[in-house]
Amino acid sequence: MAPVAKRPTSSPCSRRTFLSGLLAAGIGLAGGRADPVRASSQPLRFGLTPVVLDDRIGFLNAWADWIEGALSRPVVFVQRSRYREILDLLLQGRIDLAWICGYPYVRNRSRLELIAVPRFRGRPLYQSYFIVGSDSEIQRLHDLEGRLFAWADPDSNSGYLYPRFRLTSDGKDPDRFFRRTFFTWGHPRSVEAVAEGLVDGAAVDSYVWETLARGHPELTARTRVLERSPEFGFPPIVAGPALSDPDRQAIRRVLLSQVQDAAGRTLLNELNLDSFGLETPDLYDDIARMAGRLTGGNGA
């Protein structure tokens, strides 16, 4: 699942969304800072999936500055349009840590270490929402049969793994249940696709939906939550093999203490989060179980 910040731009059809979709391929945020510079202090490379944060450069700069101040080390955010790309960079050691979904985490638990887990509404948990258009006649999940449906990302728990698991549990083949599906490569886009009538339904991250409802109620008002999933571990911030142990301790300390700092709290508030907490990997066992049951998934 993707790390998510409060999404700033208003309507679902902003040009920037459109352009960033076009330009997403391979262009990192603040390119100059993306390349590691062999200097006295090597920057910390922090991977983000550009799902909600993609055009909040001002916020990201502020957050990077804050972490830099606390860590005494430069911080560079690296963004990619797909979860998979960030995961690959992380596993290859080309970035130090990343904010990823619980699903790719559980699949690579052996090589990744939990640094911190965001607390949303007081708990390190979130859900998957099945949403439909607010004026849709669909009342139950099974009414979506033969309809158009949007997945978020093949590496998303709430936007792909769970909904497929849910249908499989009911004895449905998620690949045949809908007439046509496609990936939007981002939860906010899935919300938009439902609101615009592009699809009849979608499964989205509850944190994204609730954050959008806070910042852009006119968008979420055009959607209706059809069904809520059980709670899962919130998308964590994990360290890749490239990050040394002392560095892991350092960044963990910084993130855990962010809530104690006024500026840090402001940034957390912008993210619609309470704090970062320390959790054990078994928080994601439910996701791991689902992933284990869905062996025939779509190449995820």
**What track of x and - describes contact with another protein for positions 95 through 124 (by CB under 8 A)?**
------------------------------
Q: Is 185 in the site for another protein (CB under 8 A)?
A: yes
| The one segment of 8-16, 97-105, 120-128, 163-171 that binds another protein by CB under 8 A | 8-16
Q: Is 23 in the site for another protein (CB under 8 A)?
A: no
Q: Is 13 in the site for another protein (CB under 8 A)?
A: yes
Q: Is 131 in the site for another protein (CB under 8 A)?
A: no
How many Å apart are CA 269 and CA 259, to the nearest integer?
A: 10
DSSP the chain: ----------STT-HHHHHHHHHTTT--TTHHHHS---SSSPPEEEEE-TTSSTT-HHHHHHHHHHHHHHHTS-EEEEE-SSHHHHHHHHHTTSSSEEE--HHHHHHTTTT-EEEEEEEBTTBSEE-EEEEEETT----SGGGGTTSEEEE--TT-IIIIIHHHHHHHHTT--HHHHSSEEEE-SSHHHHHHHHHHTSSSEEEEEHHHHHHHHHH-HHHHTTEEEEEEPPPEEPPPEEE-TTS-HHHHHHHHHHHHTGGGSHHHHHHHHHTT--EEE---GGGGHHHHHHHHH-TTSS--
| The one segment of 31-39, 44-52, 116-124, 188-196 that binds another protein by CB under 8 A | 188-196
Q: How many of the chain's residues bind another protein (CB under 8 A)?
A: 21
Q: Is 183 in the site for another protein (CB under 8 A)?
A: yes
| The one segment of 109-117, 164-172, 183-191, 229-237 that binds another protein by CB under 8 A | 183-191
Nearer to another protein (CB atom), residue 136 or residue 229:
136
Q: Which of 35, 170, 173, 196 binds another protein (CB under 8 A)?
A: 196
Q: Is 212 in the site for another protein (CB under 8 A)?
A: no
* Binders of another protein in range 220-249 (CB under 8 A): none
| The one segment of 10-18, 85-93, 216-224, 284-292 that binds another protein by CB under 8 A | 10-18
Nearer to another protein (CB atom), residue 88 or residue 279:
88
Nearer to another protein (CB atom), residue 13 or residue 27:
13
Q: Which of 164, 189, 216, 222 binds another protein (CB under 8 A)?
A: 189
Structure token pair of residue 189: 């886009």
Residues that bind another protein (CB under 8 A): 13-15, 17-18, 21-22, 148, 150, 179-180, 182-185, 189, 193, 196-199
